[in-house]
Structure 1
Amino acid sequence: MSMRLLTMSSEKAEKKTTEKKAKPTKTTASKKSVAKKTVAENVVGKGSLLYVDYIIKTKRDGKVFDCTMEDVARKEGIYKEDDRYEPMLVGIGWNWLLAAVEEELIGMKVGESKTIDVPPEKGSGPRDPSKIKLFAKTKLAKHGVRPIKGEEVKIGHERGVITQVLGRRVRVDFNSPLAGKTLVFDVTAKELVTVPEEKVLAVIKRRIPAVPIDQFGVSIKGKTVTIEFPQTSRYIEGIQYAEIGVASDALKVIEKAKKVKFVVTYERPEPPKEAGN
């Protein structure tokens, strides 16, 4: 079980906005106060939106089971071709990461690293003996399950692992593989996202990783966030559900916003050229 199951990294692309950044205005603030502000902008706080790198392992044996860095994944033998290896977007207080880890991120500076121990009660929970069940081999055969120790199985809506084969009966453990284990997170705060338009682009990237982020446009006027979607996004399976997630996230990261508007532009195709022209 990975962090992706406990809580989507996405395709790397340049961030793009459709509005020009406002020019900084002159102030009479002292150099000291400006310095304090700069420091504050680099410190994680409640409601912060940031990217983090992490390595997660079990404390007892030090086995790494998830990370955001490709080189580490390959070294630890957990690399998966379909996974995206890049920093994960985290919104402090929004449960995109385990609450126990989010709490420890508060106060960290950009570039700072920390090791966080997460006990079972704050992670995947304790092991539940009632989730260990015995099945007849004939019943498992109906589900296409081979009675082999260590085999992962799905019975109904539950997923488990065969832990023992006892004659005609098979013991299956439906507990999470991490249940009852203390987890160790090695976390690094990589980047704080502070520009409003870039915050919206970040949550779009989180929800719709299949489309390059530079194909979207974002503008914020008053209390309305307008997001321009590329026509190609219409062909993504489940795009309507992703849009609901984007709207919800955008209203979280832009606190003054009251509504989110989606715009898709369809252009008239050019007529085919006549033969001989």
Structure 2
Amino acid sequence: MALQEGDFIRLRYTGSFGENIFDTTDEERAKEEGIYNPRADYGPVTIRLGSHHVIVGLEDELMGKEVGAEGEVDVLPEKAFGAHENEEVRSVPVTQFREKARKGMRVEIEGREGLVVDIIGRRAVVDFNHPLAGKTLHYSYTIVEKVEDPIEQIKGLIKLYAGRSDIGITIAEGTAELALPAAITYDRRWMVWRGTLVREIFEYNPEVTNVVMKETFPRPATPAAAAEAPEAEETAEETTEE
């Protein structure tokens, strides 16, 4: 059956421009191309068609395809990361940087991230366009399967937004419960995206009326307990010798 808006799928893909690969779900390919991220969770990603979980040009290509389909598509800038806007290239005093400015460094100014493309005297020229703005992109893809299970759909969204696969999920009597690992509040990516995740859980699962997040902290071993263990071993050894 042809895929349509609202369907969840697992997708493998590799994105490139010219000879440069900038993104892939294939771990070995990432290593070969020198873009491997040891903190990334490689493998097929779960997306919902129509929700712009991938760029518009790739999403348009996937609509109407069948599970198992493989293909390639060129995506023009207007359906990728937009045109390169000259007004997004600005001159900034180097005094705004925390470290010495140099060409090629990425900086954050007033909450926006940019790339230093030139340095003229005491000012740096910073490009605030997306790094892939103005580029025609090429994608190869495989539609692995359709995802019907709501729990697997939510797991896919968590991985997509927060890059995590260590959150347990149950759904019972209209409540979706997320079992959070300890100290997840220190994960900046999770904190930024959890609101979006909750909104999409409600939007895509009409039967869910509550989302509950439970963070569990296991009791740490006390120093006394740790000290007792060697003493117990010594006592056992003494008894054996006698």
Q: TM-score, normalised by structure 2?
A: 0.75
Deviation at 1:88, TM superposition (A): 1.3
Whether 1:85 aligns to 2:23 is no
| Cα deviation code 1:206-232 (max 9, x no counterpart) | 45654535x33223x5xx2x22333x5
Structure-1 separation of matches of 2:150 and 2:108: 43
SS at 2:133 equivalent: coil
Aligned counterpart, 2:222: none
Match of 1:161 among 115, 119, 126: 115
In the alignment, structure 1 residue 152 sits paired with structure 2 residue 106 = yes
After TM superposition, give the deviation of residue 62 of structure 1 in Å: 2.4
Q: Is the 8 A contact 2:15 2:23 kept in 1?
A: yes
Percent identity over the alignment is 26
> For residues 178 and 209 of structure 1, do their structure 2 counterparts lie closer, same or farther at Cα, with a shift above 3 Å needed?
closer
**1:1-277 → structure 2 map (5 Å cutoff):** 40=1, 43-58=2-17, 61-135=18-92, 139-206=93-160, 210=164, 212-213=166-167, 215-219=168-172, 221=173, 224=174, 226-230=175-179, 232-233=180-181, 235-237=183-185, 244-255=195-206, 257=207, 259-262=209-212
Other structure's SS at 2:143 match? strand
Deviation at 1:179, TM superposition (A): 1.1
Q: Is the 8 A contact 2:11 2:144 kept in 1?
A: yes
For the residues of structure 2 that align with 1:166 and 1:241, how far apart are their CA atoms? 35
Letter in 2 for 1:163: V
Distance 1:128 1:144, change over 3 A: same
What residue ranges of structure 1 are gaps of 5+ in the alignment? 1-39, 270-274
Query: Structure 1 residue 240: deviation in Å?
Result: 7.7
Q: Which runs of 5+ in 2 are unaligned?
A: 220-227, 233-242
Question: Residue 198 and residue 174 in structure 1: after superposition, are their counterparts in 2 closer, same or farther (change >3 A)?
Answer: closer
Q: 3-state SS of the aligned residue for 2:90?
A: strand
How big is the shift at 1:75?
0.6
Q: 1:249 to 1:234 in 2, by over 3 A?
A: farther
The answer to whether the 8 A contact 1:115-1:186 is kept is yes
State the secondary structure of the residue aligned to 1:216. strand
* CA deviation map 1:226-269 (0-9, x unaligned): 22333x546420778766444422333334x2623537598xx9
Aligned twin of 2:240: none
The structural deviation recorded for 1:76 is 0.6
Q: Match for 1:260: what amino acid?
A: N
> Structure 1 residue 78: deviation in Å?
0.5
Q: Give the secondary structure class of the aligned counterpart of 2:94.
A: helix
